[in-house]
Amino acid sequence: MAADDAGIGGDESDDDSGIGSRELAVAAALALAVVAATAAFPAVADARAAYEIPVERQSSAGDLAEPTGDAWTSVETVDVPMSSTGAAVPGGAETTVESVRVEAARTDERLYLRLSWSDPAANASTDSLRSFADAAAVQLPVSAESQPPIAMGSTDNRVNVWYWNAADGTESLLAGGAGSTTRVPESAVETRATHTGDRWTVVFSRSLASDRANVTDVDPDQDVNAAFAVWEGANEERSGQKAASEWYYLSLGPNEGGTIYETVLWALAGIAVVFTTLVTVEGVRRTRGE
C-alpha cells in the first residue's frame, strides 16, 4: 500500500492528470491566433463588401428597361469611383467623370444594369471632325472562373464589353487585351438611355444565358465580376481615353443565412471562446495548486 501510495503521490507531483505546461502554452498560442484571425475577418468581409453590387431579383421585368422606370425605386445604388486610364494614353490623365452610380436587377431570364453619371451636356453627334459622343460600357469576364486583367482582359482570359454610344447605339464586343477588340455580331445586348438635367442614365440588359461561344454566360447562382467605363464627349474622350472603374462583382449568388464570411467569423469566435476558457480554467487550477 505504501508503494501504491507513493506511486500515486508521484503521479500527482508530475501533474499528468492535468494539462501540461507545453499543452497550456500551445493552447494559449492557438487562442491568441484564433482571436487575432477573428478580429481580422470583419476587415476582409468589409473589403469584399466594398466591391459588391447587390442584384435585386424581381418577379417580372416591369419597366426595368426604362432609365426612369419605377421598378428601379427599390434597387440599391452603389457609387463606383472612376479614374483615368493613365498617362500612357494621350489625354488619358485628363478625364472628367469621377464616379458612376450603378444599380443591378434581374428576373429569371434577364439581367439589367443601370448606370448614371453627371454630365452637364449631352453629346450625341459625331458630325464634325472634333465632335465626340458620350459613351459608357460594362465589362464582364467571358469565363466566371477567374478575374481577367482590368485593361480589356488577356489572350487567355478574355472579356465581353457591352458598349453604348450616344451617337451610334449599342455593340457587344470581345477583347483579349488592349487593341484586340472585335465586334460580336447580332448583339443580344439592349440599351435605353436618357439625359435629364445634368445626368445621363443608361440601362443595359441582356438575357442571363448566352447562346454562343466567347460570350459571358451569366449564372443566376454565381457572382460575376464587372467593371465600368464612361467617355465624356465634350472632353474629346474616345478609345482608350476614358474614365474607368476597378473590378466590382455583381452579387448574384445565394445569400440565405448570411455570407460565408459571417459564418466563418462566428465559427472562429466560438473556437476562440472555447480555447480562452480552457486556458483560463487551467491557469486558475494551477494557481490554486489543484
- Quickly list DSSP for 256-290: TTS-HHHHHHHHHHHHHHHHHHHHHHHHHHHHTT-
Residues 58 and 41 in one domain: no
Averaged over 131-146, what is the pLDDT? 93
In a domain, 5, yes or no: no
Q: How many CB atoms lie within 10 A of CB 242?
A: 21
Residues 96 and 210 in one domain: yes
Higher pLDDT, 207 or 15: 207
Residues 109 and 127 in one domain: yes
DSSP state of 257: T
In a domain, 152, yes or no: yes
In residues, how long is the chain? 290
Averaged over 116-133, what is the pLDDT? 91
Q: Which of 77-86, 176-185, 264-273 has the lowest mean pLDDT?
A: 264-273
In a domain, 1, yes or no: no
Residues 215 and 201 in one domain: yes
Residues 94 and 217 in one domain: yes
105's enclosing H/E stretch is: strand 99-106
Residues 217 and 121 in one domain: yes
Averaged over 95-107, what is the pLDDT? 97
Residues 226 and 262 in one domain: no
Residues 198 and 122 in one domain: yes
Residue 136 has pLDDT above 80, yes or no: yes
For residue 138, give the CATH number of its domain.
2.60.40.1190
Among residues of the chain, what percentage have pLDDT more than 70? 69
Residues 191-217: tens digit of each pLDDT: 999 999 999 999 999 999 997 888 999
Contact 227, 244 (CB under 8 A): yes
Higher pLDDT, 46 or 159: 159
Grid cell listed for 227: 467593371
Residues 85 and 25 in one domain: no
Question: 196: helix, coil or strand?
Answer: strand
Domain of 23, in residue numbers: 18-51+258-290
In a domain, 6, yes or no: no
Categorize the per-residue pLDDT at 63 as very low, low, confident or very high, splitting at 50, 70 and 90: very high
Residues 23 and 114 in one domain: no
Number of domains the chain is built from = 2
In a domain, 183, yes or no: yes
In a domain, 171, yes or no: yes
Using CB atoms within 10 A of its CB, is residue 288 exposed (0-12), middle (13-18) or buried (19+)? exposed
Categorize the per-residue pLDDT at 80 as very low, low, confident or very high, splitting at 50, 70 and 90: very high
